[in-house]
């Protein structure tokens, strides 16, 4: 390449060597034409060993030399300058020195001169390596978490699907048991046999309800929500029918029904009967056996309400918080408790399907009241 | 296959020039089609010229970057074959810099007979030393490049490209253009570096029947002269032209020497 640039003035010459950064001048092909004291000190070569003897890129690591050819040279050629490039200098002795550089092309009497300013960046290098490492660690953690999450989701999906299939398949043999028991009950039987048949019927009935709960639960958990068919209904009649049915199931217990207000409302009669069934069943299980359970159905101006009250020990506040989550049940339940803890969850799902909600009030002395409130 | 508009957007295709035959310009690893601005204008007088960015580089559509497709050079070659199919008129002359020389060759092998000539600037079929073969690099060297790319990550991504300190001699370059020359998503840059520098296309060379110019610089760390000679020995219809240049981008540093080597090859091949 052309002649070296003319020697700068005395003042500039001083500056070239006293500035607090490494300075280099090269020809277009990288041959070093000037190097300041600081730069020489960093690389461990004298100016005489560098000037005219070496190309700037020969002081870089191999990776740096490739980068120099694929990024540095084209950018300098195309835009005349490049800044904040971080490369590593291979020095005479010791480990490589990370440096950050700016460079620009200056025309000196038509001959391009490359001016390079360099700063040692050991601390920045360390810091960046740590950042890169943390990022790598984070990426690994995120990948791991994502994998675990998706595995868990797969397992949960599988479990719920299995439950759906199993409970659906259990219905057929159960209904056959119920039908057979009903047939047997019509024939001439000894008292002890009648009791046995009644027990078979009750157990099959309970198992059927449990399966129906499981199906509802599965449907709700698989994200489809509970199916309801909303029509105009008579709430009081619907609740009264269910209460009547429940009295037969719990002949030894007092079960009251109070009606307030009048008028039709829109809802799913079967689902609301299920609400009454689940809440009463719950009250029978946890309430005091010598106190009545009271069901109240209320029609108000814009909403309807079903509440079920029982006397007995209050539900601890910490249990109240998770009462409507699936698989939760009060600790006082005996081993004969009816369900695996789906009843209240299904009540809350039915309330949701009616755009309503369920709440609980429980305190010592006043007992426990579950209240479902839905828009009319 | 992607439609014409899809291709234009995907590869940021720019068609210029005027002529019966078409000259394609394909950039290498690092920058984009702006690499060609010193030699393309001369050819635009005689040829229809097609410039484009490889997917992942320059102004290409980053949404089209599929890590699986572009894990190797074949993905890029498939794109080139599509571009040639859609934009090639008359004879197709393919100017490929660096890794694009091999991409052009793979595209040719996919669509035999469609290419009239390859003009390979600084090509290499394999960058890694292997037994007697001297590619110039070891695997560790490529790891060191990946590290270098990584430590220039912050600068490239947050500023998009090195800030401009002023290029008073080239006022025609707009800020937007200048910033995009070497801008690459850091993850894509690393993958493209791997696809490029870990590629080995030596076995494909004997299958190439198209007239080929191997434009070799006498001092190029990325494609040493022994690599040019290797290519010349293994590509049947090839011409090796060594030019006096230090570095890997003769079309930028010595465009006239580059053009005259291309011109004499084109004359020799009557193209």
pLDDT at A286 over 60: yes
pLDDT tier at A329, thresholds 50, 70, 90: low
Q: Which of A92, A120, A148 is the last residue of a domain?
A: A120
Asked if A62 lies within 8 A of B145 by C-beta distance, the reply is yes
Q: Which residue has the higher pLDDT, A60 or A2?
A: A60
Distance CA A143, CA B20 (A): 53
Q: Which of A59, A90, A120 is the last residue of a domain?
A: A120
Domain contains A226: no
Distance CA A55, CA A59 (A): 7
Instruction: Kindly state whether residues A164 and A209 are assigned to the same domain.
Output: yes
**What is the DSSP code (8-state) at residue A323?**
T
Instruction: Kindly state whether residues A140 and A267 are assigned to the same domain.
Output: no
pLDDT at A24 over 90: yes
- CB under 8 Å to A51, separation ≥6 — which residues? A32, A33, A34, A35
pLDDT at B256 over 50: yes
Best mutation target, A26, A28, A55, A63, to test chain B (most B CBs within 10 A): A63
Residues of A in Cβ contact (< 8 Å) with B168: 80
Instruction: Kindly state whether residues A49 and A165 are assigned to the same domain.
Output: no
Instruction: Kindly state whether residues A106 and A157 are assigned to the same domain.
Output: no
Instruction: Kindly state whether residues A275 and A350 are assigned to the same domain.
Output: yes
Q: How far is B141 from chain A (nearest CA, A)?
A: 6
Domain contains A294: yes
Instruction: Kindly state whether residues A300 and A273 are assigned to the same domain.
Output: yes
- Tokens 């610089």, located at residue: B217
Instruction: Kindly state whether residues A242 and A326 are assigned to the same domain.
Output: yes
Quote the pLDDT of residue A10: 54
Q: How many Å is the Cα radius of gyration of chain B?
A: 18
**What is the DSSP code (8-state) at residue B36?**
G
Instruction: Kindly state whether residues A216 and A253 are assigned to the same domain.
Output: no
- The predicted model scores a pTM of 0.66
B229 phi, psi to nearest 5 deg? -65, -40
**At B7, is the secondary structure helix, strand, or coil?**
helix
Domain contains A204: yes
Instruction: Go through chain B and tell me how many residues it has.
Output: 271
Q: Which domain holds residue A26?
A: 10-120
Instruction: Kindly state whether residues A114 and A136 are assigned to the same domain.
Output: no
Residues of A in Cβ contact (< 8 Å) with B141: 62-63, 66
pLDDT tier at B220, thresholds 50, 70, 90: very high
Domain contains A188: yes
Domain contains A2: no
Report yes or no: B70 and B55 within 8 Å, Cβ to Cβ: yes
Q: What percent of chain A has pLDDT over 90?
A: 45
Q: What percent of chain B has pLDDT over 70?
A: 89
CATH number of the domain to which A146 belongs: 1.10.287.130
Domain contains A194: yes
State the pairing for strand pair B14-17/A367-375: unpaired
Q: How many domains does chain A have?
A: 3
Is A75 in CB contact (< 8 Å) with chain B?
yes
ipTM, 2 dp: 0.87
With 0-12 / 13-18 / 19 or more C-beta atoms within 10 angstroms meaning exposed / middle / buried, residue A314 is middle
3-state secondary structure B162-226: CCCCCCCCCCCCCHHHHHHCCCCCHHHHHHHHHHHHCCECHHHHHHCCCCEEEEEEEECCCCCHH
Q: Which of A197, A221, A245 is the last residue of a domain?
A: A221
Q: How far is B112 from chain A (nearest CA, A)?
A: 30
Instruction: Kindly state whether residues A113 and A143 are assigned to the same domain.
Output: no
pLDDT digit string, tens, across residues A186-222: 888 888 888 888 888 888 888 887 888 877 877 777 7
Could you please state the CATH topology (level 3) that the domain comprising B4-126+200-268 is classified under: Rossmann fold (3.40.50)
Q: How far is B154 from chain A (nearest CA, A)?
A: 9
Instruction: Kindly state whether residues A192 and A238 are assigned to the same domain.
Output: no
Instruction: Kindly state whether residues A238 and A341 are assigned to the same domain.
Output: yes
Residue spans of alpha helices (H) in chain B: 4-10, 40-44, 73-87, 99-110, 139-151, 153-158, 175-180, 186-197, 225-234, 250-253, 255-268
Domain contains A27: yes
pLDDT tier at A279, thresholds 50, 70, 90: very high
pLDDT at B88 over 70: yes
CATH number of the domain to which A69 belongs: 3.30.450.20
Q: What token pair was written down for A59?
A: 């002081």
Provide the CA A183 distance to its chain's centre, in angstroms. Answer: 52
């Amino acid at each position: 390449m052309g002649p070296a640039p003319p020697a700068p003035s005395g003042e500039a010459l001083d500056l070239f060597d006293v500035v607090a950064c490494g300075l280099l001048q090269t020809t277009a092909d990288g041959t070093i034409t000037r190097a300041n004291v600081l730069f020489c000190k960093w690389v461990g070569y004298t100016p005489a060993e560098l000037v005219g003897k070496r190309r700037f890129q020969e002081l870089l690591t191999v990776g740096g030399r490739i980068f120099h050819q694929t990024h540095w040279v084209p950018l300098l050629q195309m835009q005349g300058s490049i800044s904040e490039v971080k490369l590593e200098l291979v020095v005479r002795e010791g480990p490589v020195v990370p440096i950050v550089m700016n460079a620009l092309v200056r025309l000196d009497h038509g001959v391009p001169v490359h001016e390079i300013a360099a700063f040692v960046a050991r601390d920045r290098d360390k810091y960046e390596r740590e950042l890169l490492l943390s990022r790598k660690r984070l990426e690994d953690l995120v990948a791991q978490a994502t994998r675990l999450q998706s595995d868990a989701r797969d397992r949960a999906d599988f479990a719920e699907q299995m439950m759906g299939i199993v409970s659906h398949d259990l219905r057929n043999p159960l209904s056959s048991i119920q039908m057979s028991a009903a047939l047997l009950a019509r024939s001439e039987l000894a008292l002890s046999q009648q009791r046995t048949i009644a027990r078979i019927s009750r157990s099959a009935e309970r198992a059927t309800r449990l399966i129906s709960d499981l199906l509802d639960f599965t449907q709700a958990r698989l994200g489809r929500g509970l199916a309801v068919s909303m029509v105009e209904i008579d709430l009081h009649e619907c609740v009264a029918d269910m209460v009547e049915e429940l009295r037969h199931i719990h002949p030894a217990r007092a079960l009251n029904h109070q009606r307030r207000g009048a008028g039709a409302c829109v809802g799913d009669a079967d689902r609301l009967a299920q609400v009454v069934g689940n809440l009463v069943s719950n009250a029978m299980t946890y309430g005091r056996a010598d106190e009545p359970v009271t069901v109240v159905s209320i029609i108000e101006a814009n909403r309807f309400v079903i509440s079920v009250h029982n006397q007995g020990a209050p539900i601890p506040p910490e249990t109240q918080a998770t009462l409507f989550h699936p698989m939760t049940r009060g600790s006082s339940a005996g081993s004969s408790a009816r369900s695996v803890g789906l009843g209240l969850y299904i009540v809350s799902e039915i309330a949701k399907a009616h755009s309503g909600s369920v709440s609980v009030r429980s305190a010592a002395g006043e007992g426990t009241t579950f209240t479902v409130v839905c828009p009319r | 296959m992607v439609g014409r508009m899809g291709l234009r957007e995907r590869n940021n295709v720019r068609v210029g020039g005027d002529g019966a035959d078409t000259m394609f310009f394909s950039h290498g690893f690092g920058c984009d089609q702006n690499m060609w601005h010193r030699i393309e204008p001369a050819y635009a007088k005689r040829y229809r010229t097609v410039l484009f960015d490889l997917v992942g580089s320059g102004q290409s559509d980053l949404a089209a970057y599929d890590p699986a497709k572009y894990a190797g050079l074949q993905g890029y070659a498939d794109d080139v074959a599509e571009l040639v199919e859609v934009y090639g008129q008359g004879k197709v002359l393919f100017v490929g810099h660096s890794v694009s020389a091999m991409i052009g060759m793979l595209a040719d092998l996919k669509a035999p007979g469609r290419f009239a000539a390859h003009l390979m600037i600084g090509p290499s079929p394999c960058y890694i030393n292997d037994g007697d073969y001297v590619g110039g690099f070891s695997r560790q060297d490529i790891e060191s490049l990946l590290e270098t790319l990584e430590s220039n990550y912050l600068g490239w991504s947050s500023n998009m490209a090195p800030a401009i300190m002023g290029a008073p001699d080239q006022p025609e370059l707009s800020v937007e253009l200048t910033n995009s020359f070497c801008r690459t998503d850091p993850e894509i840059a690393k993958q493209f570096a791997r696809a490029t520098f870990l590629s080995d296309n030596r076995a494909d060379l004997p299958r190439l029947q198209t007239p080929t110019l191997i434009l070799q610089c006498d001092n190029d760390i990325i494609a040493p002269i022994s690599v040019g000679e290797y290519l010349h020995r293994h590509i049947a219809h090839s011409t090796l032209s060594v030019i006096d240049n230090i570095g890997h981008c003769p079309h930028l540093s010595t465009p006239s020497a580059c053009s005259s080597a291309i011109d004499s090859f084109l004359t020799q091949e009557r193209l």
